[in-house]
Structure 1
Amino acid sequence: MKLLKDAQLGASTFFASPLPHDVCGSNGLPLTPNSIKILGRFQILKTITHPRLCQYVDISRGKHERLIVVAEHYASNLGDFKQGQTASPEKVLQIAYEVLEGLEFMNKQGLVHRALSTQNVLLDCKGNVNLAKFGLYHMTDHGADVDFPIGYPSYLAPEVIAQGSFHPSDPSHDEAPLPSGPKSDVWSLGILLFELCARRRLLQNIEISEKLKFILTLGCMDDIVTVLAEEHGCLDIIKELPENVLELLKKCLTFLPSKRPTPAGLLGDPLFHGISCLYTPFQKPVSLFSSSLRCANLQLPDDIADLCKDENDDYLSERGIDEVYHLWCLAGGDLEKELTNKEIIRSKPPVCTLPKLKDVAGEAYFPLLEDQQSGLPQSNSSNELSATVMLPLIIRERDTEYQLIRIILFDRLLKAYPYKKNLVCKEARVDIPPLVRGLAWAALLGIEGDIQAKYDSIDKDTPIPTDRQIEVDIPRCHQYDELLSSPEGHIKFRRVLKAWVVSHPDLVYWQGLDSLCAPFLYLNFNNEALAYACMSAFIPKYLYNFFLKDNSHVIQEYLTVFSQMIAFHDPELSNHLNEIGFIPDLYAIPWFLTMFTHVFPLHKIFHLWDTLLLGNSSFPFCIGVAILQQLRDRLLANGFNECILLFSDLPEIDIERCVRESINLFCWTPKSATYRQHAQPPKASADDSFGKAATYFSSDYQDMAKTDLSREPLALADLKAEFSPRISAEDLIDLCELSVAGPSKRNKGGKPKIIAVDIRSMEDFSRGHVSGSVNVPFNSVFNSDGELVQCPASGVLQNYRGRVIVIISHAVKSAFAAHLVKVNMSRVCILDGGISRLNPTGLLTVPSPQI
């Protein structure tokens, strides 16, 4: 994206052609509005960056098919050369060369301007050319989606005029004419240059029909330049032009397209040998994910104040145009209001006052990274924004100054990725600026390397059996969103989904995969390779083997662990749902199969996944429990039928509260409690993205190296028979900090977060037990027939409510744990393998004999 520099942000508006309301497509669905089609095609234009092209920034839909386009703009254009004003031959050649540079780059991207005019050739403060509205022809499908012609009759090439106007609804046309080619722009350039040289406008005072007839009659002329000069009374001026300029005009104004040069051909013409050496060939910036080496100047001086000595420095102008526009919107900018104030949109103009970003301290543009912060005082700006961090996320995302500082910080960190990946994770725990969310997610998922080459190597064209199902699912996936519902969005959906299916032959397409793809595609609409890479990294991390042809064993194990998590964190709710038979199989499969994308709209998914991507494969369990707890009162008050109805149309969920409570649940869940036999195999390192507060509770147990103290896999039937989760011996040792120093893992109030409850006999307990554990013999609670004699929760265990309660015995006694759950004791779990797992460790305590 280009920097703002001395540019302005300009807005233009037009209407797409309306469609009849009573007509459906071949699939029986309503026709896609033309404004949606245009919005989808527009997206690729935002990625086209060149010094000779005005950068496209955004597009928005208004009422009645109105579209408003935001782009880089300059106040000066070729129209400022007034009639009679002289443009030197050198200036004419410079303008011609720079226009051709822009046209050639467009042609390489498969684009044709078709709307060249004096108003669309803008000049920056240095007099350099920037072509405006170069994407109008592309975004409107060569004019098919609008009711006005693309281009200005005075500048259109003869072959374009000969085709006449076209609209799909016109019964007089059987098929659309072929799109204009690059050579049509060369003719338009010739007319522009002729006007500059002749010091007057051509065909400006002639009726439109006469203009068209005159241009078509030029086909009979050998020297079109001379004919035009005679027609407009400027033959003397044209004869005085240097030979190279006159030659350029003749080449541009060649009537037959077959003999007319292309922009690329003209650029290489000897006419420009004296000019081309003055220009440095454009180099496309290196992307974050590629095989090319890239570097960024991330070093700052010891004293940041040295960078900010000049109070007149406009630091905002050094930021990207997209960033400035994003911040302008946050500051209250409204495109329709601005156009209304300029009387472009006709209505009573309201007062529109916008905050300015000029008052932001210069230090904000040079954020300090972690290794640069030692010994340096915080800037005033940072101190002022410290209170903003405590505000709700939805407010922070609309705070202009806060977003400016966060965007600049993430921009620096992402340029240093993967070197600064840990710092990206650290800052993402605070929040992720929406403007950089796509790249930030890719960094959190560990995407690296030349992703485009890998994506290009996948066959996305050969038909496969899954094509039919993909075609059926896409029109139903997040179609409330304008971008994803556009035809361009559907095309990209198909390519990314098919790429994933083809590149994962051991897996199959299940309904829900399209919903998983949607957030990545939305955030990386113009980078399918990155959307595919993110999706391919996300699925094995959170949905390992969910897309096997037979995934029943994976799903059942997942749902069973989820049931145990509900019982662990909210036993009262778990007991009620089990009593009425409302099991997770009835509502939770779409949750986890789509990681909640089938449940929530995209704007909520963005906030949810900002946190999900910081966690590990067990974090979705905590999200599920947090959702149930928001609906807790209604669930406890209702029976089976009412719960089914409740989940068929899920009530509004407070996502920020859900995220906050999910993190709390995550930090209270021992890492081995969510162990799954069918989870992703261990990797080299574990995640710990929630910081020191969750040191022993956040690491993904699936990532830990297996030892003699690890959890052993259970058969699914045995797993389902237990209400409470098991934890490993190594987890117990970590949580109790069994060492010479004794147990010291405590919560903020100073009390231990965990209590070990040893249910062996007093004799066995006295022979050796976990330091700090309490003895509640099983036979004092249950008789030999397994019947309850005394409720343990009403006695000594009452004092330990709220802590993680680990049941220890010779063998697993699930009945004891099950009873604690039935009497609503939370955070109950069982030591996997019993006391025998701890015997070899030498960590068991034997009481000293009393003297």
Structure 2
Amino acid sequence: MRPLKDAQLGAFTFFASALPHDVCGSNGLPLTPNSIKILGRFQILKTITHPRLCQYVDISRGKHERLIVVTEHYESSLSDFQKQGKTVSPEKVLQVAYEVLEGLEFMNKHGLVHRALNAHNVLMDCKGNVKLAKFGFYHMTDHGADVDFPIGYPSYLAPEVIAQGSFHPTDPSHDEAPPPSGPKADVWSLGVLLFELCAGRRLLHNIEISERLKFILTLASCSDILPENVQELLRKCLTFLPSKRPTPAELLGDPVFSGISCQYTPFQKPVSLFSSSLRCAHLELPDDISDLCKDEDEDYLSERAIDEVYHLWCLAGGDLEKELTNKEIIQSKPPICTLSNFVMEDGESFGQGRDRSFLLDDTTVTLSLCQLRNRLKDVAGEAYYPLLEDEQSSLPQSNSSNELSATVTLPLIIRERDTEYQLIRIILFDRLLKGYPYKKNLVWKEARVDIPPLVRGLAWAALLGIEGDIQAKYESIDKDTPIPTDRQIEVDIPRCHQYDELLSSPQGHIKFRRVLKAWVVSHPDLVYWQGLDSLCAPFLYLNFNNEALAYACMSAFIPKYLYNFFLKDNSHVIQEYLTVFSQMIAFHDPELSNHLNEIGFIPDLYAIPWFLTMFTHVFPLHKIFHLWDTLLLGNSSFPFCIGVAILQQLRDRLLANGFNECILLFSDLPEIDIERCVRESINLFCWTPKSATYRQHAQPPKTTADNGFGKTATYYSSDYQDMPKTDLSREPLALCDLKAELSPRISAEDLIDLCELSLSGPTKRSRAGKPKIVAVDIRSVEDYSRGHISGSINVAFNTAFGPDGELVQCPATGVLQNYRGRVIVVISHAMKSAAMVSKLRCGKRFAYSCWCLSDQQNCHG
């Protein structure tokens, strides 16, 4: 969106038509409220940007089908000339006409018709340039079908529009709706508007519409006072027959504008972030960037985008309904005063007539920015222009305010509601994303702190590595030809996150269908599985007006975290994934793993929807956003850590319940603290060796950049599959063998790293001085004496265990009792023996986590 500059934020409200409560659609579901339909259609209007159009910013839905629209606004309009009772010079008339036509032509290119053109909706900025307001009213209301009032003003409507009369879908007297108005209807409205400017509105005051129409058609009263070129323009605009009336595009090329058209440069639409065009082709910077911050009185906030200013206005305490109530646009009444009429037997009626507060009031209320400016008064001008290459560019270090520097330590939900903090973060991310992909590493760095909600969609795309002309690729995919999957998609969409107003709208369903179908068509080796719609939902919500970006993000996300999950036969992939997850539970929480195995509550019963949809099926969108902000920073093994973190939040209830109670618990998952879940997931992720989560069916190796969670986790940031293979690396394992093992295996190279063999021997010590990792070699004494890891403990399997695998009491096993609660690495050249020891560690006698290292070469290497 363009900068705020001298514009203001305005809001107006109206009611959508109410639907009957006892009527369902053809699919048996309740009808979608008209307000939801309008909300969905409105979204595309936010992308319509032109110097002659007031930018749409947001729409909110209230009670009783009330809708409040936020838009760019100016106090001055053409109605000011009419109020003064003065005629306008012919030069000004031509200027207004040309600028209005520019806006109308741009609208027509996007399939829009104004239909509500009048003097109040032609605003003027501080330079006297035209800004068309409410140009999307006709579109968002489905040509007036979703509201109880006509779109447009009778004095300005074209004859063919008046001849159609009023229409409402619930009116039984109308068989079908009239065709929607075309661009030529706006040309007539423009002609009436220009005629009023030329002749003065008082000439048409108190004249009935029929007489006014005759008066306008003759143009008799102005033939002597207007120049010929203006008269010719009015005649073309006010041509009675639509077939002979020109369109806005045709009028722009009329010779009448030959003298002023050269003063206007063609509008160039800003280049999007993901395209093949240069984004900085016309970039101009001052010789000294410090000049940008010299003027202490400069209004830096006005240089920010309109949607950004509105977002900050809401964070600073802005309330749309309160603003409209203060201006008496919204009038609340006690319930007793809103009772409908009722008729007694004698015909006498009681009650209220129609509440006039439900009628259209097209007044636009200016939203005051004083509270926001007062909130940001202490933010220095330099904060609006952060230095990206400075080592102190990150917020906790670079901000001069101690208060803001401390904000980063607060919970995420508080940070997202802090006005000053969000301003700094939005500005920083905005600059980084404008430099993408060259600033990709800095995007990763700042995303570790947090991602501002306003830029989350683009930030996710950067974290997923989206590049190139995504729109051209998306448009090249056939999304119209019927395919067998269409039926399943149609069934799934009405059940996917339909609590959200945006995704439940008809436009949301259409976009859902197109993005999902594009993915299915462009991945012929994969199939549509239930759950794919849930995966699509976060990307579609964040990129509702950019289907191509939603598709691109989804296409990059699935191979990274769900590689081959959508094969026609994905059983081997799912089973391997669930087995590794079971081993993760056993390692990080042996007691819980032991209990769940005893009652038979295996991950197959609850975790498939978790991982197949990356938790989008079990959490609402607002929680998914916070979860995925961190998930996208990790590799394909990070979902295991999320799953373990969720189980740990439910740990007490799981340990206290049996199988049936656990099934009921997961059928209606209790409230999960997402911030705690994220925090614990990172801790688990940083401590888990990469080879412990190795999967044979993971994504093939590829070159990846450093994208860890910081210095403590840099080693674990990339997938184990991406690391170069050596003789000490872990090898693939058959699924049956993997399932037979309770604890995860690790590679010798991970053991070397964890134990820091070259520095401190096989035990890695904590701050308290106690070893956190203990290496237990279960080979025979003879093999152990030939070669072993320095500092490891030898507990020979043949002396510590009986022929049936039972534990025999001996001095060596007594040593193990001293390491209860520690991490044990079992070293053996026989995997069967190591697996048996790892199973015993989960028993009542041993309560320590265990990794298995089984490779004779590794032991003697």
CA distance in 1, matches of 2:424, 2:601: 47
User: Which of 391, 396, 407 is 2:410 aligned to?
Assistant: 391
The question of whether the paired residues in 2 share the 8 Å contact of 1:507 and 1:549 is answered with: yes
* Compared CA separation, residues 190 and 358, structure 1 to 2 (3 A): farther
Q: Counterpart amino acid of 2:624?
A: I
The question of whether the paired residues in 2 share the 8 Å contact of 1:46 and 1:57 is answered with: yes
The question of whether the paired residues in 2 share the 8 Å contact of 1:316 and 1:358 is answered with: no
User: Which of 304, 320, 327 is 2:312 aligned to?
Assistant: 327
Indicate the residue corresponding to 2:297 in structure 1.
312
Structure 1 residues without counterparts, runs of 5 or longer: 230-234, 842-851
Indicate the residue corresponding to 2:714 in structure 1.
695
CA distance in 2, matches of 1:672, 1:604: 30
Q: Counterpart amino acid of 1:152?
A: Y
CA distance in 2, matches of 1:541, 1:347: 52
The question of whether the paired residues in 1 share the 8 Å contact of 2:158 and 2:188 is answered with: yes
CA distance in 1, matches of 2:150, 2:692: 66
Task: Summarize the alignment of residues 157-172 of structure 1 with structure 2, pairs less than 5 Å apart.
Answer: 157-172=158-173
CA distance in 1, matches of 2:796, 2:287: 65
Say if 2:49 is the partner of 1:30.
no
* Deviations 1:315-366, CA, capped at 9 Å, x for gaps: 00000000000000011111000000111111499x9994533332112101
* Compared CA separation, residues 324 and 331, structure 1 to 2 (3 A): same
TM-score (norm 2): 0.92
Task: Summarize the alignment of residues 366-377 of structure 1 with structure 2, pairs less than 5 Å apart.
Answer: 366-371=385-390, 373=392
Say if 2:509 is the partner of 1:495.
no
State, as a whole percentage, how many aligned pairs show the same letter: 85
Say if 2:110 is the partner of 1:99.
no
Alpha-carbon shift at residue 582 of structure 1 (Å): 0.5
Alpha-carbon shift at residue 771 of structure 1 (Å): 3.3
Indicate the residue corresponding to 2:461 in structure 1.
442
Q: Counterpart amino acid of 1:286?
A: V
CA distance in 1, matches of 2:597, 2:297: 68
Say if 2:211 is the partner of 1:214.
yes
Alpha-carbon shift at residue 670 of structure 1 (Å): 0.5
Structure 2 residues without counterparts, runs of 5 or longer: 335-366
* Compared CA separation, residues 18 and 642, structure 1 to 2 (3 A): same
Tell me the SS of whatever aligns to 1:526. Answer: coil
* Deviations 1:731-786, CA, capped at 9 Å, x for gaps: 22222334378568655556665332222233322322223433332234212442
The question of whether the paired residues in 1 share the 8 Å contact of 2:394 and 2:446 is answered with: no
Task: Summarize the alignment of residues 289-368 of structure 1 with structure 2, pairs less than 5 Å apart.
Answer: 289-295=274-280, 306-347=291-332, 354-355=371-372, 356=374, 357-368=376-387
CA distance in 2, matches of 1:309, 1:793: 75
User: Which of 219, 224, 247 is 2:217 aligned to?
Assistant: 224
CA distance in 2, matches of 1:110, 1:430: 42
* Deviations 1:637-658, CA, capped at 9 Å, x for gaps: 0000111111111111011011
Q: Counterpart amino acid of 1:408?
A: I
The question of whether the paired residues in 2 share the 8 Å contact of 1:685 and 1:704 is answered with: no
Say if 2:257 is the partner of 1:269.
no
Indicate the residue corresponding to 2:795 in structure 1.
776
CA distance in 2, matches of 1:313, 1:90: 34
Say if 2:689 is the partner of 1:670.
yes
Indicate the residue corresponding to 2:239 in structure 1.
254
User: Which of 452, 458, 469 is 1:433 aligned to?
Assistant: 452
* Deviations 1:614-655, CA, capped at 9 Å, x for gaps: 011101111111111100000000000111111111111011
* Compared CA separation, residues 174 and 528, structure 1 to 2 (3 A): same
CA distance in 1, matches of 2:321, 2:271: 35
* Deviations 1:378-411, CA, capped at 9 Å, x for gaps: 6654533111001110010000110000000000
Indicate the residue corresponding to 2:852 in structure 1.
830
Alpha-carbon shift at residue 303 of structure 1 (Å): 9.4
Say if 2:115 is the partner of 1:114.
yes
Alpha-carbon shift at residue 98 of structure 1 (Å): 0.7
Alpha-carbon shift at residue 663 of structure 1 (Å): 0.6
Tell me the SS of whatever aligns to 1:404. Answer: helix
The question of whether the paired residues in 1 share the 8 Å contact of 2:392 and 2:398 is answered with: no
* Deviations 1:197-237, CA, capped at 9 Å, x for gaps: 1122564423xxx31x336657xxxx82524x3xxxxx3xx
The question of whether the paired residues in 2 share the 8 Å contact of 1:225 and 1:250 is answered with: no
Task: Summarize the alignment of residues 581-600 of structure 1 with structure 2, pairs less than 5 Å apart.
Answer: 581-600=600-619
CA distance in 2, matches of 1:763, 1:371: 60
Say if 2:21 is the partner of 1:21.
yes
CA distance in 2, matches of 1:366, 1:769: 59
Q: Counterpart amino acid of 2:226?
A: L
* Compared CA separation, residues 158 and 374, structure 1 to 2 (3 A): closer
* Compared CA separation, residues 394 and 380, structure 1 to 2 (3 A): closer
CA distance in 2, matches of 1:446, 1:797: 48
* Deviations 1:520-541, CA, capped at 9 Å, x for gaps: 0000000000000000001111
Alpha-carbon shift at residue 2 of structure 1 (Å): 1.3
The question of whether the paired residues in 2 share the 8 Å contact of 1:296 and 1:416 is answered with: no
Alpha-carbon shift at residue 787 of structure 1 (Å): 1.8
CA distance in 2, matches of 1:446, 1:667: 23
CA distance in 2, matches of 1:464, 1:256: 45
Tell me the SS of whatever aligns to 2:67. Answer: strand
Indicate the residue corresponding to 1:846 in structure 2.
none
* Compared CA separation, residues 22 and 83, structure 1 to 2 (3 A): same
CA distance in 1, matches of 2:821, 2:706: 26
Q: Counterpart amino acid of 1:654?
A: D
* Compared CA separation, residues 298 and 649, structure 1 to 2 (3 A): farther
Alpha-carbon shift at residue 692 of structure 1 (Å): 1.4
Alpha-carbon shift at residue 659 of structure 1 (Å): 0.6
Tell me the SS of whatever aligns to 1:106. Answer: helix
The question of whether the paired residues in 2 share the 8 Å contact of 1:13 and 1:67 is answered with: yes
Aligned residue pairs total 822
* Compared CA separation, residues 756 and 215, structure 1 to 2 (3 A): farther
* Deviations 1:777-835, CA, capped at 9 Å, x for gaps: 2234212442211389974345545554221112222111111122453431111x423
* Compared CA separation, residues 215 and 557, structure 1 to 2 (3 A): farther
The question of whether the paired residues in 2 share the 8 Å contact of 1:686 and 1:704 is answered with: no
CA distance in 2, matches of 1:790, 1:248: 106
Alpha-carbon shift at residue 578 of structure 1 (Å): 0.4
Tell me the SS of whatever aligns to 1:130. Answer: strand
Say if 2:421 is the partner of 1:421.
no
User: Is 803-812 or 41-50 further displaced after alignment?
Assistant: 803-812
CA distance in 1, matches of 2:826, 2:116: 77
CA RMSD, aligned part only? 2.5
Alpha-carbon shift at residue 300 of structure 1 (Å): 9.3
Q: Counterpart amino acid of 2:187?
A: V
Alpha-carbon shift at residue 176 of structure 1 (Å): 0.8
* Compared CA separation, residues 104 and 301, structure 1 to 2 (3 A): closer
Task: Summarize the alignment of residues 677-688 of structure 1 with structure 2, pairs less than 5 Å apart.
Answer: 677-685=696-704, 688=707
CA distance in 2, matches of 1:376, 1:141: 45
* Deviations 1:391-434, CA, capped at 9 Å, x for gaps: 11001000011000000000000011111111111111111000
* Deviations 1:157-176, CA, capped at 9 Å, x for gaps: 11111111111011111111
CA distance in 2, matches of 1:411, 1:374: 14
Indicate the residue corresponding to 1:185 in structure 2.
186
CA distance in 1, matches of 2:706, 2:773: 22
